[in-house]
Amino acid sequence: MRVLGAVLLVFGWVVGVVFAQAASEAINELRRPSIAEYLEGVLAVLDHAATQPDGISRDLTLAIDQEIEHFYEDELADVDTATLYRVFEHLYDWDGGWLNRRLWINALVRSWLRESAVNLPQMSTIAIEELGLELAVEAFDFNVDGQPEFIVNIAWRGLAYTDILILDNELNHIPITVPWCGCCYPDTSVHTGRLQVERREDINADGLPEWVFVRGGVGGNHLHSGYLIILAWRDGQLVDLAQVGERDRGSNTLSFQEGAAGNQDTLAGTVHWEFKDVDGDAALEVIQIQDFFDNWDCHLQETRIFAWSSADDRYVIDGRHYDYSDTSGCQTRFAQQAMWDGDYGAAIGYFERALALDTRVDAADWSQRFAAYVQARLAIAYALVGRRQAAASLLDDLSADPFAHVLKDAFSAQNTYSLCAAAFEYFDRFKPWDEAAYYGATRDIVVPMTAITAPTLDPSRAGCDVRALPMRSAQFDPTSDGTLDEYLAHQGIPVAQKLAFDLNSDGYDEWLVFPEGPVRLALFYARWCRGGCLYRGTVLDMRSPEERGIEITTQPLPDGQQALAVYFFDWTLRELQENWWRYDMSSYGCATDDQVRRAGRGYTRLYRLSDGAIDLILDAPVCLNDDLETLFTADSRQFNGWYVIGDEAYPASYVWNDTLHAYVIASVPAPETQVSIQPDAGLNAAYVASSNGSYDEAIVILEQLVQNDAAPQGADVTIARYLLGLFYERRSRLDDALVQYVTVFQTAPDSTWGRLARLHFDVISR
């Protein structure tokens, strides 16, 4: 459609743009119908859609729901209850899970209260059977003006949805600046909704009472997460003085994440709060205390202290400390961490303390094997600091264990690699922790590692401390040491697999060697010449290519060399999420779209040969959904990967630096600007963005979806165009909005979307 001119008209409800078009075309005027007109039109559209093969689709209910939220939220409660409930039932019965039920149910409550002329001060409970609603009313004076406000606890259809509504004595709505969602709990009281109330008093000494409560996550056998909310009166609304956003669950906030046991509401009992005046300024500090029980059977207590800042008008982090119990489990954890850090002396002390504190007297196989495992690790620590007699004595004590002989044999070989490899083999045969436990377990729940402040056991580190161990000889001379195979055999390193590459095209191979056993390391040998030529060895922390999810190949570099390329995908996490879906694990995300975010992730690592040494020149996350063929541009100068921010990963570009001969990150788009051009992902991302008020982000997503779709008249693009019209209108881009509405209508006038688009413009001449 070619636009020749535009004139802005304002006539009451009508805000329009008039287009002077070709003589054969109509002149259309954008209009925003009143709430009554719009709901009447929506009912007609829904009745029509119900007769079509696709019925009332999720996208249709979402589009209508979002349009009402964006344009009519303040007016919805003024509609008569019968009409309002009829539209709500139409939308909810077809795809209610996607609706903003808070918007609709709160409007229904306010509409009914207004029509019924209810006197809130005289009410404590109200049953509205025709709407499936139960209300519990409580008076509280938030602004200390002598006139109470009213907290209305809402339960709908038996507790299929619960919510909180704050009204004044005239039934005017008092906004709350806290995102909210209700859910179903069979054991939740209508009088408390989903809240665990902590306090309702002045805690910051500003003369106004605060309403302090927990906003929890989902209950039952689900992952729990939530926030401590501190509501206070500010300029006619209730504001959260903790200011925890929907996407902000960092360690500097009053937020928590924990496992649940049984069908409990909001909390499983591992987190609580205390309110004390710590610094003597009359304002109470908020102290969050949470217990963690990690995979080492170690009890950790984290304490976060939040102080009142009158300058910021909010509570801010003012301190944090951790307290560990003096138990065998915690000491074992400290010892393992010290081993990983190469501090073997400290590890010895922790291991010895762990064995002394191990008071389990039962003859259970697990207890005996765990003690044997700790002893085996202690023997390795003794050996690594030169305490050979202590190591030998401890290994003799282990002689009764059927697996301990591999440690003794390795020790007799006087070979540090063999000793650690044997410990790995021991661990592989006896695993007190399974793959699920690797990702962290609190109570009876599986949660990702990032959800627990206490690190969890990594099986790949359970035996050989790869980076800390010195190689007996870091180089070999083919003229005197024979072949690489002969050299490795002499070193006591059995070879499971050997890969050959010529990364620098000098006619000599480099070798990547994977030892036998479950040791997750590789030995890389490259030719190095200074007068004579030797082969230098480097230890790489690397998984065997025989493992699922690992791919080792080469990648051309812009400087003419080949890089050693390692791709790893974490299938274990993917399978845990698929098999443990009922635990609602968070995702180690890979995009804003939920399906991609739950795919799990891995990494891409590139190694470049430089003067006989191997340098890591790229280490970037990748998603399981990524196509390896498209990660690099054709000239290899750019890698299109991801960058991790918190728990989520976002698309990022890594570009080749000619000076460093490495890839450096070039751009990390902010999360709110992420774009997917996949139709379903794009629509979902646009819905999420607009729900968060990010209309410009939603517009970018939809524009790219329209521009990249191969079938411009496809259903997804029709929906995208309609949504573009809504968001253009929301951003006062009225001419652009009219173009989208008219295009949708002209494409299919009798379709559901065509009829819906027709509500948004008038034809004023032909």
Write the pLDDT tens digit of every residue in 100-155: 888 899 999 999 999 999 999 998 999 999 998 999 999 999 999 999 999 998 88
Is pLDDT at 355 greater than 60 in this prediction? Answer: yes
Residue 510 CA neighbour count, 13 Å, CB half: 30
What is the arithmetic mean of pLDDT over 357-376? 65
Q: How far apart are CA 444 and CA 584, in angstroms?
A: 13
What is the arithmetic mean of pLDDT over 294-301? 72
* Final residue before a domain boundary, out of 673, 695, 718: 673
| pLDDT greater at residue 765 or residue 246 | 765
Looking at the structure, tell me whether residues 511 and 609 fall in a common domain: yes
| pLDDT greater at residue 160 or residue 104 | 104
Domain membership of residue 194 (yes or no) is no
Give the global pTM. 0.62
User: Given the DSSP bridges, would you call strands 255-258 and 237-240 parallel, antiparallel or unpaired?
Assistant: unpaired
Q: How far apart are CA 764 and CA 25, in angstroms?
A: 11
What is the arithmetic mean of pLDDT over 670-696? 62
E strands of 561-646, at which residues? 562-569, 601-610, 613-623, 638-645
Question: In the chain, pLDDT over 70 holds for what percent of residues?
Answer: 65
Q: Are 641 and 630 in contact (CB under 8 A)?
A: no
Q: Are 678 and 686 in contact (CB under 8 A)?
A: no
Task: Give the model's pLDDT for residue 342.
Answer: 72
Domain membership of residue 306 (yes or no) is no
**What pLDDT digit, counting tens, does each position of 604-644 carry?**
889 999 888 888 899 887 765 566 677 899 999 999 887 76
Is pLDDT at 449 greater than 90 in this prediction? Answer: no
Contacts of 130 (CB under 8 A, 6+ apart): none
Looking at the structure, tell me whether residues 529 and 636 fall in a common domain: yes
Query: Between 328-340 and 365-384, two packed helices, what is the crossing angle to 10 degrees?
Result: 40
User: What is residue 268's DSSP assignment?
Assistant: -
Task: Give the model's pLDDT for residue 548.
Answer: 65
Domain membership of residue 537 (yes or no) is yes
Q: Are 481 and 487 in contact (CB under 8 A)?
A: yes
Contacts of 679 (CB under 8 A, 6+ apart): 705, 709, 714, 716, 717, 720
Lowest mean pLDDT among 189-193, 235-239, 294-298, 660-664: 189-193
Count Cβ neighbours within 10 Å for each residue of 578-606 and write b for 16 or more, e otherwise.
Answer: eebeebbbbbbbbbbbeebbbbbbbbbbb
What is the arithmetic mean of pLDDT over 592-608? 58
Range of the domain at 428: 328-432
Looking at the structure, tell me whether residues 624 and 524 fall in a common domain: yes
Domain membership of residue 187 (yes or no) is no
Is pLDDT at 208 greater than 90 in this prediction? Answer: yes
For 402, other C-beta atoms within 10 Å of its C-beta total 10
Domain membership of residue 41 (yes or no) is no
Q: How far apart are CA 491 and CA 751, in angstroms?
A: 76
Rounded to the nearest integer, the mean pLDDT of the chain is 74
Domain membership of residue 685 (yes or no) is yes
Looking at the structure, tell me whether residues 403 and 417 fall in a common domain: yes
Lowest mean pLDDT among 28-37, 340-349, 663-672: 663-672
Lowest mean pLDDT among 178-182, 262-266, 423-427, 762-766: 262-266
Q: How far apart are the first and last CA of the chain?
A: 15
What is the arithmetic mean of pLDDT over 213-228? 58
Most confident residue range from 379-393, 690-704, 744-758: 744-758
Domain membership of residue 392 (yes or no) is yes
* Final residue before a domain boundary, out of 406, 432, 458: 432
Query: Which contacts of 84-93 are long-range, i.e. CB under 8 A and separated by 24 or more positions?
Result: 84/39, 84/108, 84/111, 85/131, 86/43, 87/39, 87/42, 87/43, 87/46, 90/43, 90/46, 90/56, 91/46, 91/56, 91/61, 91/64, 91/65
Task: Give the model's pLDDT for residue 139.
Answer: 94
191 — pLDDT class (breaks 50, 70, 90)? very low
Task: Give the model's pLDDT for residue 453.
Answer: 32
**CATH number, domain at 363?**
1.25.40
| pLDDT greater at residue 583 or residue 343 | 343
Q: How far apart are CA 86 and CA 420, in angstroms?
A: 71
Looking at the structure, tell me whether residues 727 and 619 fall in a common domain: no
Task: Give the model's pLDDT for residue 147.
Answer: 93
Task: Give the model's pLDDT for residue 281.
Answer: 93
Looking at the structure, tell me whether residues 658 and 739 fall in a common domain: no
407 — pLDDT class (breaks 50, 70, 90)? low
Domain membership of residue 132 (yes or no) is no
Looking at the structure, tell me whether residues 723 and 735 fall in a common domain: yes
Looking at the structure, tell me whether residues 668 and 715 fall in a common domain: no
Q: Are 735 and 727 in contact (CB under 8 A)?
A: no
Our count of domains for the chain comes to 3
Nearest to 715 by CA among 760, 754, 686, 685: 754
Distances (CA, A) of 443 to 258, 269, 297, 382: 9, 10, 11, 35
Q: Which residues pair with 164 in a beta bridge?
A: 153
223 — pLDDT class (breaks 50, 70, 90)? very low
Task: Give the model's pLDDT for residue 263.
Answer: 32
Is pLDDT at 1 greater than 60 in this prediction? Answer: no
* Final residue before a domain boundary, out of 392, 409, 432: 432
| Secondary structure of 511-540 as H, E, C letters | EEEEECCCCCCEEEEEEEEECEEEEEEEEE
What is the arithmetic mean of pLDDT over 333-343? 79
Looking at the structure, tell me whether residues 534 and 667 fall in a common domain: yes
Looking at the structure, tell me whether residues 551 and 643 fall in a common domain: yes
Looking at the structure, tell me whether residues 501 and 619 fall in a common domain: yes
Most confident residue range from 161-165, 409-413, 599-603: 161-165
Distances (CA, A) of 764 to 13, 16, 20, 210: 16, 11, 11, 55
Q: Which residues pair with 653 in a beta bridge?
A: 640, 667
Looking at the structure, tell me whether residues 505 and 637 fall in a common domain: yes
Task: Give the model's pLDDT for residue 237.
Answer: 93
Q: Which two tokens stand for residue 400?
A: 């009764």
Task: Give the model's pLDDT for residue 499.
Answer: 93
Task: Give the model's pLDDT for residue 410.
Answer: 60
**What pLDDT digit, counting tens, does each position of 532-581 carry?**
788 888 777 776 776 667 889 999 999 999 999 988 776 554 444 444 33
Task: Give the model's pLDDT for residue 177.
Answer: 76
352 — pLDDT class (breaks 50, 70, 90)? very high
